[in-house]
Structure 1
Amino acid sequence: MSWLDPASVADAGAFLARLVRLDPTALVRMRPAGGRTLELWARLPFEVLVTRRVCADLAEDATVRAADLLDALDAGADRLPPRRDAEWRWPLPPEAGLVVERLPVAELHRVGAAAEATLRAAVTGGVRGRAVGERVLRDALLDHVPVVVITDDGTRVDVPQRLVQGVVRMGFLGAAPAPGEPAGGAVEVRLARGWVGLAGAFGTGWHRSSRGLAVRPTG
């Protein structure tokens, strides 16, 4: 693929493959970010935007189906798949954001795995002896706030489980460390005008609450 730097083919492929596993119909937006830098953007089924940077020579913003682009990468095609620019309907964070906290990678993996285990147990055994639909359970877990950050100026930043799941499932944190191994790195919590982000070594997830700001002053 002539427009994509050969050194970035594996990175773009990993992003697209994980995205398609989560949502076979997902769109991917490719947005030039200056120089030879291209941002890949996508929206996950649980209301989280994810992005990863690659090296590429693409002159204009373009949106295509992620599955089509993945097939084109696998085939070594030189041209982009059919464009679907009009189908992209989601605003993007206005900037990279301010880093307000750094969390251990191992802690984010633990939080994500705990939610998955809770969902499996609840689907199998119910909640307090009562059967509950899997979708209801999943939505409740995604809305749960497992991480709260208080900034230096007293602002409370809620990091919902859906954002943790986004960066974990997209592989942005790398592999989970084995028991007894060092955590190996940190995840940045970022703020950008009402958006909350988690930035790992291999990409960033963003969420903005539809029920109001997820960021609010304490008091």
Structure 2
Amino acid sequence: MGTLAERGLWLPAAADRTDLRVFAERALRLDPAAVIRLRARGEGRVAAWVATGFDVLAARTLAGRVRPADLCAGADALLAGLAGAGADGHVDPGYPMDSAWRGVLPPEHGFGHLDDVPVAVLRELARSGAALASEHGAAGPPVSLLDQDVLTVTGAQQSEPVGIPMRCVFALTGMGFVAGEADGGGVDPAEGGVEPVDDGEVVRVRVAPLWLRIDARFGSVYRRRGDPALVLR
């Protein structure tokens, strides 16, 4: 992956640095030892990835560059680097954490659109799921709840219905990708972020042979179809 001197992330726009800061903060809320994978995506774009703890990956794309083209950093170290970003937008990602990432990433292409789901529906599902999970106390939500398909979508490119498990709903809300006024919005507007997501907005459900993908305004979540444990643990 290269030497420490060669490693780095460059995000010239303050808004992108704010977005990545919020992404890293939310990743740490889900997992205090979260590792973020930064990967070049096309010309002038960087994708930030994190395993949410629900056997679901979350991603956010930013304008910038990363060297080497694929590296991993601790979310806490990345936050420290963002706080000390240089005038050119250079962010020190800290000590290499490449060995901590054990799974593969979804493909960039090959996803077909199935359907759009209103944000309000996902928020209501998340509230219902959280209420059920709270009944189990510190043990957290049972696997049966996480694996339960709470939505079913169909599309012209898919012969059979595709279920969306509660895992994906929890990952979307946990990462703040569908955050509304009651959740504090997506990113604090006073810090250069964007306004909260309105109930009338939709998330787009896409599918590939091995992956389910849900795109929201602030980011996307990916669920391995089949046996997620093979790639996320």
- Tell me which interval the TM-score lies in, with the shorter structure as reference length: 0.7 to 0.9
Which amino acid is the alignment partner of residue 151 of structure 1? G
Q: Which residue in 2 is equivalent to 1:64?
A: 73
Q: Which residue in 2 is equivalent to 1:84?
A: 97
The reply on whether 1:119 has 2:123 as its aligned counterpart is no
Q: 2:45 aligns with which of 37, 40, 48?
A: 37
Q: Which residue in 2 is equivalent to 1:73?
A: 82
TM-aligned CA deviation for residue 144 of structure 1: 0.9
Q: Which residue in 2 is equivalent to 1:93?
A: 106
Q: Which residue in 2 is equivalent to 1:134?
A: 139
Query: Which piece of structure 1 moves more, 157-166 or 50-59?
Result: 50-59
The reply on whether 1:199 has 2:199 as its aligned counterpart is no
Q: Which residue in 2 is equivalent to 1:183?
A: 199
Query: How many residue pairs are counted as aligned between the two chains?
Result: 199
The reply on whether 1:26 has 2:34 as its aligned counterpart is yes
Structure 1 residue matching 2:200: 3-state secondary structure = coil
Residues 14, 100 of structure 1: alpha-carbon distance in 2 compared, 3 angstrom cutoff: same
Q: 1:159 aligns with which of 160, 164, 183?
A: 164
Conserved in 2, the CA contact under 8 Å of 1:106 and 1:177?
A: no
Q: Distance in 1 between matches of 2:142 and 2:78?
A: 29
- RMSD (Å), alpha carbons: 2.3
Deviations 1:100-153 (A, max 9, x none): 100001101111111001222x337xxxxxxxx834x43221111100112235
Residues 117, 64 of structure 1: alpha-carbon distance in 2 compared, 3 angstrom cutoff: same
Q: Distance in 1 between matches of 2:159 and 2:182?
A: 32
TM-score w.r.t. structure 2 length? 0.78
Identity of aligned residues (%): 28
Gaps of 5+ in 2: 1-7, 184-197, 229-233
Larger Rg: 1
Which amino acid is the alignment partner of residue 10 of structure 2? W
Q: Which residue in 1 is equivalent to 2:224?
A: 208
Q: Which residue in 2 is equivalent to 1:170?
A: 175
Which amino acid is the alignment partner of residue 89 of structure 1? R
Gaps of 5+ in 1: 125-132, 213-219
The reply on whether 1:4 has 2:14 as its aligned counterpart is no
